[in-house]
């Protein structure tokens, strides 16, 4: 099975990406934090933004509503069709070979290619492509999954005993052939993500905790209370607000990035 077949199959048959960010507390945290962090680095609208691996366009939609001129690219047919139906300019394609001219965009965003491209050379190619289509001085922002996310997530969900081998593989190699939760994926250490962004020629590289330490509260709720009424202590105050506040506070302390399941890396084209 090629990487495209695997992605096509996963995102067509097994995962409804269009609802992922709205249907769980963790998804809502991810969406809110992407808006918050991207918002820190994007120029004022109307600027041109490329959403590479943009899926069905959940981020592209709020970017467009905020006044940005967005182009989305994704290799999965269903995603491109859903994004187009939502009014987004969307094309079928691969982050490793972008169909755009040099310096077409004020900013580029890759939330998908960095973890779905398991070969380091492919990630290098994708990052160089993103840099190529970004204007000098513009930002390239990426989402990656922390190498430790499966260890902590499986523990919080009380699934570590059953998933021990996969978790151990990922901690050791950043990859597991037995990982059936996601289409093929790689898991970055913070240092590795930083070095990949610097290696692509970006400067002023920062790595933020996207979901932050409070993301584990949302994983706990999603995994143990799916379909159940939440007890009062998990309804008030809203755990999403708690997790957001935690991520913001942790963001002031760079060492806390290690405690975040998702990483948001960003750098500027030199």
Footprint on this chain of ligand SAM (rule: CB under 6 A) = 7, 11, 17, 21, 52-55, 58-59, 74-76, 79, 94-96, 111-113, 116-117
Name, in order, each residue with C-beta under 8 angstroms of 183's C-beta and a sequence gap of 6 or more. Answer: 6, 7, 9, 10, 11, 116
What minimum distance in Å lies between the beta carbon of 54 and ligand SAM?
A: 5
Question: Cα dihedral sign for 218, 220, 222, 227?
Answer: negative
Nearer to ligand SAM, 11 or 105 (CB): 11
Provide the minimum distance between the beta carbon of 182 and ligand SAM in the complex, in angstroms, as a whole number: 8
DSSP conformation class of 231:
P
**Of residues 217, 219, 214, the one with CA closest to residue 33:** 214
Shortest-Cβ-distance residue relative to ligand SAM: 112
Minimum gap (Å) between residue 114 Cβ and ligand SAM: 9
Residue with tokens 């187009």: 84
Distance CA 233, CA 216 (A): 16
The helix/strand count (H/E) of the chain reads as: 12, 7
Q: Which helix (H) or strand (E) holds 108?
A: strand 105-111
Q: Tell me the closest approach of the beta carbon of residue 95 to ligand SAM, in angstroms.
A: 3
CB 113, CB 93: distance < 8 Å:
no
Quick one: 60 or 202, whose CB is closer to ligand SAM?
Answer: 60
Question: Do residues 146 and 115 make contact, with C-beta atoms less than 8 angstroms apart?
Answer: no
Tokens of 2: 């090629």
4 vs 203, beta carbon nearer ligand SAM:
4
The residue (of 83 and 259) whose beta carbon lies closer to ligand SAM is: 83
Q: Which is nearer to ligand SAM, 14 or 172 (CB)?
A: 14
Smallest distance from ligand SAM to CB 76, Å:
4
């Amino acid at each position: 099975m090629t990487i495209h077949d695997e992605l096509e199959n996963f995102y067509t048959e097994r995962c409804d990406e269009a609802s992922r960010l709205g249907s769980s507390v963790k998804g809502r945290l991810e969406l809110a934090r992407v808006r918050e962090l991207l918002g820190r680095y994007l120029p004022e609208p109307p600027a041109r933004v490329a959403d590479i691996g943009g899926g069905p366009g959940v981020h592209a939609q709020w970017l467009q509503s905020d006044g940005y001129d967005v182009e989305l690219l994704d290799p999965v047919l269903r995603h491109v069709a859903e994004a187009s139906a939502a009014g987004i300019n969307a094309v079928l394609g691969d982050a490793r070979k972008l169909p755009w001219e040099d310096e077409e965009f004020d900013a580029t965003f890759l939330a998908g290619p960095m973890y779905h491209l398991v070969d380091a050379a492919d990630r290098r190619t994708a990052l160089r492509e993103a840099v190529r289509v970004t204007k000098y001085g513009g930002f390239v922002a990426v989402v990656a999954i922390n190498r430790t996310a499966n260890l902590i997530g499986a523990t919080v969900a009380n699934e570590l005993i059953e998933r021990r081998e996969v978790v151990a593989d990922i901690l050791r190699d950043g990859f597991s052939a037995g990982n059936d939760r996601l289409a093929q994926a790689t898991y970055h250490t913070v240092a590795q993500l930083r070095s990949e962004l610097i290696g692509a020629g970006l400067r002023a590289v920062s790595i933020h905790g996207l979901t932050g330490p409070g993301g584990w509260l949302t994983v706990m709720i999603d995994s143990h209370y799916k379909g159940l009424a939440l007890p009062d202590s998990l309804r008030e105050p809203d755990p999403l607000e708690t997790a957001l506040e935690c991520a913001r506070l942790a963001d002031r302390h760079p060492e806390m990035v290690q405690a975040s399941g998702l990483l948001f890396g960003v750098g500027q084209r030199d």
